Amino acid sequence: MASDIIVELNNNKRSPIESHNHQSVDLSSALKTNVIDLLGRELPLEEYLGEGPCLISIIRHFGCISCAEYVEKFVPVISQLRELGVNLIFIGNGKYPVIEEFIKKRGLEGKEVSVLTEPTLKLHALLGLKRSVASVISLSSIKNSIRAFKEGFRNNAIQGSNFQQAGIIFLGNDREIRCYYRSENMGDNPFGDEIYSMIQNTLEDKV
């Protein structure tokens, strides 16, 4: 089953990506939840899915050091994913005016992606994503932040909830969940090449 897929990471020092159990996800309600674009327009998430498979990347807040690392390492595979016919959505939880700056700063200008926000965190709860103080101050979070800092990434002002964790939801043509990943702490997320491999393998499993 595609939902059981495990993709080995290129970096042997890290654990494999594993598609987590998504039984608690209320996808139907999540897709009907309103999100906001960079112009302040408010529409249900399902309006942004497009045709074909869709990857929804939930980031933490727009000023997060780990989100900066995640997005900038994702940029190189955007064109590859688009060639596979995958629609791409990033969703933060800050106020919508910061989206434009985020797009420019993270190299997303001119890319075929939608960058949205859902500041109430209702969407994040419906998708079963983790939110806690402990998930931010854990040893793993600290180690991940140090890694990102050493690679040149920096925290900006908190632009959203600092306690909300990230996640990845990959939907097939039938709008069913094919891959689901829930970050357990800050910086606990797969990167671009790993995500591309995960999606490529899932599509080969006849999404």
**pLDDT 10s digits, 46-88:** 999 998 999 999 987 787 777 788 888 889 999 999 999 999 9
> Per CATH, which fold does 2-8+23-204 belong to?
Glutaredoxin (3.40.30)
Q: Quick one: CA dihedral 151, 154, 159, 163, positive or negative? A: positive
Q: What is the mean pLDDT of residues 123-128?
A: 92
Give the C-alpha separation, 149 to 155, whole Å: 9
Quote the percentage of the chain above a pLDDT of 90: 40
- Per-residue pLDDT tens for 183-198? 777 667 788 788 898 8
- pLDDT score recorded for residue 6: 29
Total number of residues shown for the chain: 207
Give the C-alpha separation, 65 to 86, whole Å: 26
Residue 24: strand, helix, or coil: coil
Indicate the domain borders of the chain.
2-8+23-204
User: How many Cα neighbours within 13 Å face the side chain of 48?
Assistant: 26
Q: What is the mean pLDDT of residues 162-171?
A: 83
Closest to 37 in 3D by CA, of 147, 146, 110, 115: 115
Query: Strand pairing partners for 38?
Result: none
Closest to 30 in 3D by CA, of 14, 49, 3: 49
Nearest 5°: the CA angle 93, 95, 100 is 100
Which residue carries 């985020």 as its tokens?
102
Quote the percentage of the chain above a pLDDT of 70: 72
| Higher pLDDT, residue 190 or 7 | 190
Alpha carbon of 174 to those of 26, 48, 49, 107: distances in Å? 16, 15, 12, 31
Check whether 160 has a pLDDT greater than 70.
no
pTM: 0.77
